[in-house]
Structure formats: structure tokens, C-alpha cells
Amino acid sequence: MTIHEQLAANLKDAMRAKDKPQINVIRQIETEVTMEKSAPGFAGEVDDDLYRSVIASYVKKMKKAQGEFEAAGERGAEQAAKLAYEVEYLSQWLPEQIGEDETRAIVKGAMAELGVDDAKQMGRVIGHIMRNHSELDGGLVNKLVREELGA
């Protein structure tokens, strides 16, 4: 069953159960996919890869927004909880992210492979890692490269 089919089935179940949070997040993903496929220059297929890409992008934005709402304290608590639910729900279609220790090992390996020890070449290292390891958290990679290069 494709991700689209799973989302459609989940939407039907959520509508029967009147589960508004789940209905909203599924509809939002479908909207994001529609916007992506109607964007100028889109020539790909509407398949699981597109859905994973859209979901990953959406989850990244929602995690950032969640942190901002949490920083607002009590005023943002309700919205932060809503975003936490969305992130948790959508994570079932995303690959497992690698932890900090494994990411650090990848960063050190990439730096050795590229022969980089200067902070001015940080972008080269990050680009190399992200091209070869899409399952990594870009923010964590950036932080670890900065630490390793003393930037």
C-alpha cells in the first residue's frame, strides 16, 4: 500500500471517528503534495518518494515552529502540543534518524575523506555529508561540523 493510499484510508477512519487533529494533518500533507506537484518545473512522479520528501519538509518546519511555541511558554503550549502530535503522526513514514554519536562518526569520516581541517571549508563538508546521508538531521550535522572544526 502506498503512502497516499494509507493516508486516504486513515483519513476515512479519522472522519468516522471525528478525529480532527488527524484529519487536519492528513489534509495538510495532501495540500503540500498538491502544491509540490503543481510547482513550476515539477516533472517527477507522484509516488512514495515525493510523499516522503514532502512529509520530511513539513515535519522539519513543524519541529522548528514547535520549538518557538514552546519558548513562548504557557501561551504557546496548546499550539506546541498540536505540532508535536503532527510530527509524531507523520514520523511513521520517515526513515529513522541516526543518533548524535553515529552522526559524529560520519562527520569525522567525511572530514578525513575530504582532508578538511579549516572552518572555511565547513560548507563543503556539510554538503558532502547531506548528499550521501539523507537520513541525517541537517541541524545536527551543522552543529557537529562546527564543533569539529572549532568554528
For residues 87 and 140, membership in a common domain is answered with: no
pLDDT at residue number 44: 83
CATH code of the domain covering residue 37:
1.10.1510.10
* pTM: predicted TM-score of the whole model, two decimal places: 0.73
- Residues 38-73 as b/e (b if ≥16 CB within 10 A, e otherwise) read eeeeeeeeeeeebbeebbbebbeebeebbeebeeee
Same domain, 81 and 126: no
Please check whether residue 7 is in contact with residue 30, taking contact to mean a CB–CB distance below 8 angstroms: yes
Q: Which domain holds residue 65?
A: 3-93
- DSSP class of residue 119? G
Residues 52 and 84 in one domain: yes
Predicted confidence (pLDDT) per residue in 22-67, tens digit: 999 999 999 999 999 999 988 888 999 999 989 999 998 999 999 9
Predicted confidence (pLDDT) per residue in 59-93, tens digit: 989 999 999 999 999 999 999 999 999 999 999 99
User: Does the pLDDT of residue 134 top 80, yes or no?
Assistant: no
CA distances from 62 to 48, 87, 136 (A): 20, 7, 17
User: Is the same domain home to 68 and 134?
Assistant: no
CATH number, position 116: 1.10.10.410
Number of domains the chain is built from: 2
On whether both 55 and 30 belong to a single domain, the answer is yes
Q: How confident is the model at residue 8 (pLDDT cuts 50, 70, 90)?
A: very high
For residue 29, what are the contacts with CB-CB under 8 A and spacing of at least 6? 7, 51, 54, 55, 58, 90
Task: Using pLDDT thresholds of 50, 70 and 90, give the confidence band for residue 151.
Answer: low
